[in-house]
Every structure is written in structure tokens, then in C-alpha cells.
Amino acid sequence: MAEFPYSSRLERVLGYLLKHQHQPTTHTECQCTHHHNPDWIFDADTWSQIETLRRILCQRPALPRLPTDILEDIDAVITYRNSHSLFTSTRSIIPSITIQAQKPESSSVRISCWKGDITTLTDVTAIVNAANSQLVGCFRPEHRCIDNVIHSAAGPRLRDTCHDIIESQGYLEPVGSAKVTPGYLLPAEYVIHTVGPQLHQKVKPQAHQQAQLASCYQSCLDEAEKLPPLEDGRKVIAFCCISTGVFAFPSDMAAKIAVDAVLAWCASHPDNSITDIIFDTFLDKDWTLYSDILSNIQISRSQTNIKITKELTLPQQIPPKPQLSPTLLKAHTWLNQATTLIITAGAGLSAATGLDYTSPTLFAKHFPAFLPKGLRKLYDVFGYTGWDSPAQKWGYYFTHIDMVRRWPESQCGVYHALRGLTDRFGERWFVRTSNGDGFFVKNGFDAGKVATPQGGYRFLQCLRKCRPGAVVETGPLVDAAMPMVDPVSQVLMDESMIPKCEFCGGEMTLCVRGGGYFDERPWREMERKWERFLKDEISSSNSGSVVILELGVGLNTPAVLRWPNEDLVSKSERRQFRLIRVGMEASGCVPWELEEEDLAVGISGDIEAALDALIS
């Protein structure tokens, strides 16, 4: 079947699965609203098809088994999807500490902390899955739990094997124990499944539940000890944060138990064959917890037969670089060969600098007074109408604009890297971004080469759009208003500072596209410059190769950047355009048909890490 392109295999798999779709299980209602008419899938974009496949496989039980040809197609499709991820070799992860038994010729174990997607670790013997007692994975597609993530990347053969284990042993997997399966489509050779204790939210774990969690780590290490080493002689096991997700074990207590359990196991197994133990975290708060624990580790009385050496170089100072996969190498080659660069950027690029509109942590830090209103992230405020008063509303907006204005410049991050990249192209580059934060200009980009078709925080405009150009600079208004914003209630205390249109006296709003009120006039000249730049590149016989580097552009407003970029590469008569799309999930996925024509490539992962690999 190798002659079939991956896009065709994906459609064939989806056509079969939708036609033979299992009825919704008791775990969840089916999310595929078109399952009675499967033909809809052939008109969907690649990301929608991939997501539909993930959701169907998540809900599908192990029985009845899939036909061999369909299973082979699914394997090929998932392998191809996985190949677009940024992979990190365990060899590049700097250990925090090294443990060695205090006896001659005893083995040493390197212990590390790493933040990232555990399914993208390479050169790893086994990764640990925090499983449920049925072992067969989570059946809720909307859950982004580690169980779902691992089963999605490994493919349906993993669920089949886990089902067979439970069927063979005749009982559910006990809490604190572990079972080993092959990794299938994962880079890891094996997966160790362990069932952690499950708590109710905000309930303090009892002593027996703490012991069960410690047993999870020790059982996993017992199983890992039996596994063969890698070709380089190492034996590497990567732990997820067991029980801290929907199982509600407090993260701080869980991290302490995890590290203590690993140290205790190493102390009681001085001749073990494990060379590397990695604590993998996905959330910043968990990474901080493990980093602090490992940095301040103390040997307990029961661990006096081991020696702990702390590394002089802190792991957070040197983040591991992603591996140069074929996907990255192709994109790297296109960038090196290009004569013109177009950078298009969406919200994912701002998130890469920390301004993440989906982050509850960011919102709670800067807008604590608005949490009682049920607001949890910056996106929640878009279109929000539940303000107690105009003074409260403008207290929020002035604080928001001030936060963005004060956001630190990128001294060594993504904007610094992009600015260095544009230097390679002389004047033959242009930026077009849907972000209204002004970060490109703030970080040294020529304002005459940055178009913002969605507007920006630089201006307020008349909400009624009483006349074109009824706008005002926000800077002086924010400077005057911020001293009058109460630091506790975050309400604007002087209502005379609430902005009013100078022409009609009406309400003002941010000059950002959000409806028919949007005033495009302040941004029109840069759009004209963009159109002239693009026309020159399309018409010029000497234009050479043009690379569109698209960063963090999702599906919120695809008609602004995402779809026009795809049209440029597919409809250009001389085929001189190439699209490199980088970001998380949909933001890193291009139509596979464009990839098969060698016109585009998608890179799924952290933007800063991807740029580091692409540009260096």
C-alpha cells in the first residue's frame, strides 16, 4: 500500500471508521456529529481529519478488532502525523543529580527533570503512563490526560494489548502495580502502565494513598529493571506526574513522594541496571516543583548507603535542543535557499514569549480582582458584557494594555531569533501578524515592514465608528489612567478618565477587529505596502524562492493568514512559494496534499525550540 499518499490513506481510514463507527459508549457521547453521513470528511481540512481520527480511536473499544489493512493504514497515518513533532533525545537532557551506591564498582543513576511532551522523547527505554485500572486508556476525547496522549501517539494496537492483559489476568489492575507493553508507534520501546491512587478534589491524601503512590514508582522501576538496554548500553525510564491530573493528588506532595520513592529504590537496588531516570513534567508549576526538590535534595537516614552528586550546571540554563528530523531538515534547507522571507504570526507566537491568552496562571497573576466574575483567561474577556460598571470595564482594559506595553523585550528569545533571521534577507522580508500587541516593532523590527490587519492596542476607536479615523493613541490615556486604577479592586476610580469619542461623545473600544465596528483606517497604509510587496514577489522574474514562515497561526481567524498562505503556495504559477507552519496542534499542521507536492511542511511543537533548530 506504499503507493498511496498519506492524505489518501487518512481519508480511507476515516471513511471506514465513520461507516463502521461504534455507538457512543457509556464513557462519553460521540463528538462526531456527521457520523451518519461519512462523506463530509472528504471535504474537511487535514487537521479536522486528524482530530476526527483521534476522537474516533479514543472512543473505540478494543473489540471488535480492526481489519488488518485498515490497521496498517492507521499505523502509517499516525506514524506520519507523529513525524511532524519536535523530538528530544534523552542524551541531550542534563541530569540534576547522580546517585551511586557507596560500594566498589557500583552503578550510577542520573536523575533529570524535563518539561515537554513525554511521547516526543527519543533514546528512551520506557515511558510511564498513569493508567486507569482497566489499562485500556481514557475514552473521553476532550480529556488531555497523559493516558489519552500516550494512546493517541502509540496507536490502537496499544489498547488491544492492554485489553488482552486484563482479559488474561481476569481482574482489574491493582493500585500501585505496573504492567509493561510495547511502545508501538512511540519513539519509546516500551510503555510501563501504572495505576495511581484516585482522590477527590481538595482532599488530603491518607497515609495508605501516599504509600500507594510511592509503590507506583517502585513498581515501575522493578519492571524497567527487567527490560533490555538501548543499543548504547543505557537504560532510560521517563516518569510522568502520576495521579496529579484528574486523579487529584496534590502536585507538591506527589513530587516529594516521587523523588523519595526513586531514591529509596536506588538505595535498595545498588546493583540495578537503570542508568537514567527522568521526571517529565508538562506544566510549569510541576517543573518548578521537581527542579526545587532535586536542587535541595537531602539524603535520609534510610538512604545512607548511596552518594548523591549534584551537577554544577543547572538543567534549566541549557534547554535541550530538538533532534533534526527530516521535517526540520527540509524546512531548514528551504530557509537557507530562500531569497525572500515572509513571516506571518498569530497568537501562538505571543504565547511563546509568555503572553498566553489561554493561561489561567497569567490571568490570575495580572487580573486577580476579576476572578470572582468567572473570568479565567484573557480570551474570556473577548465579547464579555458582564461588567458591573464602565469604571470596572476600563479598569480591566487599561490594566491589560499596560501589561502588554510593559512586557519585556526579547533579548534572546523568539523575536531576537526572528530579527536575526531577517538580517539574512536584506530588504527582502515582510511581517504580517494578526497580533495586536505590537511586539514585532517593540523588539526592533522596522515598523514600515510590519502589517497588522487585525488592528492593535496602539489605538482606541469610536465603537459607533461615527466617522473614519475616529481614533486616539492609547499611550497617553493609559499613562494618565493607571495611577487611578485601584490596585485591589482594579477598578478605574476616576470615571472622568473613561474614554469618549471626541467627535460624537460615544463609547470607545480597542481598535482591534471583532465586528463591523472595526475601523481599518489606521492600518490601511501598511496593508497597501504588504500588497505591493507581495505583488512584486509574485510578478518578479528574479524573485527566486519565497519562504512563508508561519508561526502560531491557528483556526480562530484562518481567513486572515492561514488560508491566504495556503493559497499562495498552491496557486502561484511559478511555484516559488514554500510554507513552513510551526506551532502547537492545528498551528503546526499543513494540508498533507501540499506536503506531498513539496510545497509546505508542518512542525508541531514549541515555537522557540523549533526556531532554534531552524535558524541555527
Which residues have C-beta within 8 Å of that of residue 248, sequence separation ≥ 6? 198, 199, 200, 201, 202, 203
Length of the chain: 616
Which helix (H) or strand (E) segment holds residue 601: the answer is strand 600-604
DSSP 492: B
Q: Is residue 590 part of a domain?
A: no
Q: Is 202 exposed, middle or buried (0-12, 13-18, 19+ CB in 10 A)?
A: exposed
Residue 464 lies in a domain: no
Evaluated on CA atoms 155, 158, 164, 170, the torsion sign reads negative
Omega cis (within 30) before 141: no
Are 298 and 359 part of one and the same domain? Answer: no
Asked, for residue 70, whether it belongs to a domain, the answer is no
Task: Identify whether 24 is part of a domain.
Answer: no
* Residues 294 and 366 placed together within one structural domain of the fold: no
Q: Which amino acid is it at 302?
A: S
Are 298 and 379 members of one domain?
Answer: no
> Using CB atoms within 10 A of its CB, is residue 496 exposed (0-12), middle (13-18) or buried (19+)?
exposed
Query: Mean pLDDT in each 10-residue stretch from start to end of the chain (616 residues)?
Result: 79 94 47 58 94 97 97 98 96 92 77 96 98 96 94 98 98 98 98 95 92 98 98 97 91 96 93 96 92 84 73 57 89 96 97 94 96 97 95 98 92 89 96 97 96 97 94 97 98 97 96 93 96 89 85 95 97 92 97 97 96 90
What phi and psi, each to the nearest 5 degrees, are found at residue 501?
Answer: -65, 130
d(CA 173, CA 190): 18
Question: Are 350 and 228 contained in the same domain?
Answer: no
Beta bridge partners of 494: none
Q: Which residue type occupies 20?
A: H
The DSSP code for 505 is -
Helices (H), 550-599: 562-571, 592-596
Strand, helix or coil at 310?
A: strand
267 and 344 part of one domain: no
**pLDDT at position 224:** 98
Pair 398, 492: CB distance under 8 Å: yes
Nearest by Cα to 237 from 191, 283, 270, 196: 191
Q: Is the domain of 99 the same as that of 164?
A: yes
Report long-range pairs for 2-9 (Cβ below 8 Å, ≥24 apart).
5/592, 5/593, 5/596, 6/76, 6/77, 6/80, 6/592, 6/596, 7/46, 7/591, 7/592, 7/593, 7/596, 9/73, 9/76, 9/77
**Does residue 513 form part of some domain?**
no
Residues facing residue 546 across a β-bridge: 340, 577
Do both 153 and 252 map to the same domain? yes
Q: Are strands 97-101 and 108-115 parallel, antiparallel or unpaired?
A: antiparallel
Calpha distance 181→160 (Å, rounded): 10
The grid coordinates listed for 92 are: 541531550
pLDDT of residue 118: 97
8-state DSSP, 521: G
Q: What is the CA radius of gyration of the chain?
A: 27
Distance in angstroms (rounded) separating the CA atoms of residues 363 and 356: 9
Three cell numbers written together for 447: 515598523
Q: How far is CA 520 from CA 238, 345, 429, 465, in A?
A: 51, 19, 23, 10
- In a 10 Å sphere around its CB, with 0-12 CB exposed, 13-18 middle and 19+ buried, how is residue 545 labelled? middle
d(CA 6, CA 593): 8
Contact (CB, 8 A) for 70 and 155? no
Residue whose C-alpha cell reads 458582564 in the numeric block: 386
What are the residues whose beta carbons fall under 8 Å from the beta carbon of 446, sequence distance 6 or more?
none
Please check whether residue 603 lies inside any domain of the structure.
no
Measuring CA to CA, which residue among 375, 127, 138, 371 is closest to residue 246? Answer: 138
Contact residues for 497 (Cβ-Cβ < 8 A; gap 6+): 394, 477, 480, 481, 484
Domain that residue 401 falls in: 340-455+523-543
- Rounded alpha-carbon distances, angstroms, from residue 99 to 214, 310, 413, 456: 19, 9, 34, 53
Q: Is 469 helix (H, G, I), strand (E, B) or coil?
A: coil
- What local confidence, expressed as pLDDT, does residue 201 receive? 79
- What is the pLDDT, as a whole number, of residue 21? 81
CA angle, 191 then 196 then 199, to 5°: 150
CA dist 390 → 378, 393, 463, 505 (Å) = 18, 5, 14, 15
Q: How many domains does the chain have?
A: 2
**389 lies in the same domain as 280:** no
E strand or H helix at 82, and its extent?
Answer: helix 68-82
Instruction: Judge contact between 150 and 119, C-beta under 8 A.
Output: yes
Are residue 391 and residue 272 in the same domain, yes or no? Answer: no
Q: Three cell numbers at 200?
A: 477527590
CATH number of residue 218's parent domain: 3.40.220.10
Q: Is the pTM of this model over 0.75?
A: yes
Alpha-carbon span 222 to 211, nearest angstrom: 16
Looking at residue 264, what is its pLDDT?
93
User: Are residues 391 and 437 located together in one domain of the fold?
Assistant: yes
Query: Is residue 137 a contact partner of residue 146, using CB atoms and an 8 Å limit?
Result: no
Q: State which of 310, 330, 359 marks the end of a domain.
A: 310
List helix spans (H) across 111-206: 146-154, 156-169
Query: In sequence order, which residues have a C-beta less than 8 Å from that of residue 445 and are 6 or more positions away?
Result: 415, 418, 419, 422, 431
Flag whether 208 is in a domain: yes
Query: Does 347 share its domain with 305?
Result: no
C-beta pairs of 100-104 under 8 Å, 24+ apart in sequence: 100/306, 100/307, 100/309, 101/266, 101/267, 101/270, 101/271, 101/305, 101/306, 101/307, 102/305, 102/306, 102/307, 103/270, 103/305
User: Does 147 share its domain with 227?
Assistant: yes
Strand locations in 249-358 (E): 276-281, 306-310, 340-345
What's the DSSP call for residue 403? H
In a domain, 43, yes or no: no
What's the confidence (pLDDT) of residue 65? 97
